[in-house]
Structure 1
């Protein structure tokens, strides 16, 4: 596998941690941002200290033409593409009946449609890589079809990502591309930590390093035969 990775939403938080972890493992990395230019460039500079090529690129990946342009720029500047981590996705916690049309569209666009647009644009390049990885992000329990009180649109989008990923996985294994899903629960950079921690069996949030570990499990060259899987990193939450 060539070591060329695009991580969407990687100026801060989970995406940034993943990109830096891949850089430490010798991957050339593209940091994607929409508005956080300073932080994305800082992260790219940090990644470069590992002796890899690193770039920061702006795009609104809820727009298909910008997602396409982002991928093309990554391929041009990094010299190829073998790993895509779709990390973008805004959260909305609001009673279901109170969600506005604009809010619904924004949540579905940022979580589900952006994933589809970036992946679709990347597929020709991933097929040419002769061994590639797609890692998508859902959320803990998104595969469980149960009622939601305040985050319905978000979970619908994340459940859609799981179905989309499994469908792609079955199709793309013949092209030496695996497609898997990481589903975090509460993470150290999540909001409302004080409220949520007592509800967690582990009594602590996941660390960013633990999320990195799950992502690397799927990207690792030894995972060629693992595809269409969902790995929750939730400390036993809501089992």
Structure 2
């Protein structure tokens, strides 16, 4: 099994938890960051304690050229790629009628477009590895998304990620590459927890470990026959 992974947005939070979990399982890991250079460096150093190779790479992946270079550098530093986790994506809570053109593009660029740029560049490396995993991030209920008074631009971007991932799953299955989606609800590092927790059936947010475990499920070789699926890690929220 070829263990080389790139996790976007992995200097802190969910992305960091995922990257460290992969390192603990013997994966060489590329930690991606945009502005959090020191945090990414520390995370990479933490991963190295498992005896794997780890690097911290900077890129603004909302820019196609930068995203392409990130993937190329990750593959060069690690000696190839077999796993890509697209964790980056900004959030906006605003009525669609009040959403500016700049905010609209930011939602699409940081969520859908960044996922597309990174993945499209990574696919040839995954094919070369002969085994691959793509895990993208949406959000709870995105697969059955309906109109929302305050999150329309964000929902549109995340729903697009799901459609894109399912398309990849069909196209890449013959290459032994799976593509799946993890859809988090409220996590322990989410903002506004005091207001949201009472709305959760579990009465608590997801831990970062629970989210990284969901990603790990899709990456595990025992999940070879699972592709094009959406796994919600939301404690029953928005059912």
Task: Return the TM-score normalized by structure 1.
Answer: 0.99
User: How many residues were matched structurally?
Assistant: 239
Match of 2:206 in 1: 206
Distance 2:70 2:209 in 1: 27
Match of 1:171 in 2: 171
Does residue 57 in structure 1 map to residue 52 in structure 2? no
SS of 2:144 mapped into structure 1: coil
Match of 2:127 in 1: 127
Segments ≥4 residues shifted beyond 2 Å: none
Distance 2:145 2:14 in 1: 26
Match of 2:35 in 1: 35
Match of 2:234 in 1: 234
Does residue 105 in structure 1 map to residue 105 in structure 2? yes
SS of 1:125 mapped into structure 2: helix
Distance 2:155 2:147 in 1: 10
Deviations 1:104-139 (A, max 9, x none): 001110000000000000011000111110000000
**Native 8 Å contact 2:7 2:15 kept in 1:** yes
Structure 2, gaps ≥5 residues long: none
Q: 1:18 deviation in Å?
A: 0.2
SS of 2:67 mapped into structure 1: helix
Does residue 23 in structure 1 map to residue 23 in structure 2? yes
Distance 1:91 1:188 in 2: 16
SS of 2:31 mapped into structure 1: strand
**Native 8 Å contact 2:135 2:181 kept in 1:** yes
Distance 2:74 2:126 in 1: 12
How well do the aligned residues superpose, as a CA RMSD in angstroms?
0.6
Q: How does 1:58-77 map to 2 (within 5 A)?
A: 58-77=58-77
Structure 1, gaps ≥5 residues long: none
Deviations 1:131-171 (A, max 9, x none): 11000000001111311111111111000000000011011
Task: Return the TM-score normalized by structure 2.
Answer: 0.99
